[in-house]
Structure 1
Amino acid sequence: MSDPLRLLIHGATGRMGAALLRLQPDVPATTLGAAVARRAGTSAAGVAIAGVDTLGDVPAFEVAIDFSLPDAFDAVLDLCLARRAAFVSGTTGLSADQRARLRAAARQLPVLWAANFSPGAALLADLARRAAAALPQWDCDIVDIHHAHKKDAPSGTALRLGDAVAAGGGQPRYASIRAGDVVGEHTVQFCGPGERIELVHRAADRDVFARGALRAAVWLARQPPGEYTMNDMLGLTPD
């Protein structure tokens, strides 16, 4: 039996980081190598969290799971390059330069960036692409609803859905709502003469994203260097 996969959780005090720390023990193929956040402390589950100033001193790990902010992204990517560790990231709001750095890193190690780690959301993007290809000339609107504290709008998932629609030949428009404590809801609406189709995904809690990221980490550790997506992991390949 192979040794458990050692993980680095980066952004450990955020909503997603807390979910990852809570759910990681349920994935026997993994073990927690280290947890890092902007400030050192202890998680609700009693896990010691190191500060980012000690990021370079963390113990050995095979995969980093990053849910942080753009200003913390470069340091953890650099660490993965130095350690030749696989890199899973759900950090949104990245700049064009950071996107380019991620693509360059994929020449040396396996990387998987996703705006949404829910398998259902990945399938939604695939369905949106197929619908756009089948319904040329129909209007397409993408609406995302999130909690009032979410900073980016449209959401990263909404933009990913828009990319999928564009890949199918559609021209997406966006609308964003920030209210209450909504975890995440995305609707892709296609309107034609006298009819309308709605594709909807609703996340009931953040655990679906954390489970998806942990699943992605286990899968990515077995892949050669390259840039991967949730579709790759799920086997959703374009027609």
Structure 2
Amino acid sequence: MRTRATILVPLFVFLLIVLLHAGEGEALTYQISVPLTPGAEVQATLPDGRVFVLGKVVGLPTATRWPSYTASKWAEAGTVAASAVNAIHLTLAVEKGEGQTMSILPLQTVAPAAGDKAFITVDVPAGTALFGGWAPPVGTRVTVKKENGDTLPLRDRGLPAQGEVLLFQVEEEDRPYIIDIENRPGGRVLGWYAQGPRVLARVIHPIRGVGRFDGTIFQGIGRLRA
């Protein structure tokens, strides 16, 4: 008898599937502000006004990366393209089929996808604060608050200037509380919602082994890294 392996994944860290079902106009969960000012605090603000400090900015980008890593072109311009324990990547634009990105990195990390000089550095360890429970999900829209108070979409603006602020509007969405992946060709990817299960996708290539790369050292065993 053929056996079937299943993988249960808590939703709140399964960011790629969340992207496929992101909604418009949902309720604000919290806002993240990342000032492009050395020494300024990165903050998360709840709708009730409570503020949590997620670190301080200690380094600014002097360029964007283009062409960037492959998956960046699949993100909508002006949104979070990847959210991991050791890096957050933002797609600014997609030009000639390639993504243009900038990134936010913790103080100590290995993140070659960020590129050279195309990242903001925050003085917290990987896997914590902005790179932990407060990390903005994939698909989160990003705006830029200018020094005069005007707010514009990040998309197609190029590199934000020093003194401006990146704003991440993290919104509440209809997300499953468990994702069940049947690890076989044609296996179902099931999302479990309050209303019941829903097929989100089908497995094309099942897991047949394990591997390692430098970014895995920043996450604990048995937990998702990105």
TM-score interval (norm. to shorter): under 0.3
Higher relative contact order (CA 8 A, sep 6+): 2
Structure with a larger share of its residues in strand: 2
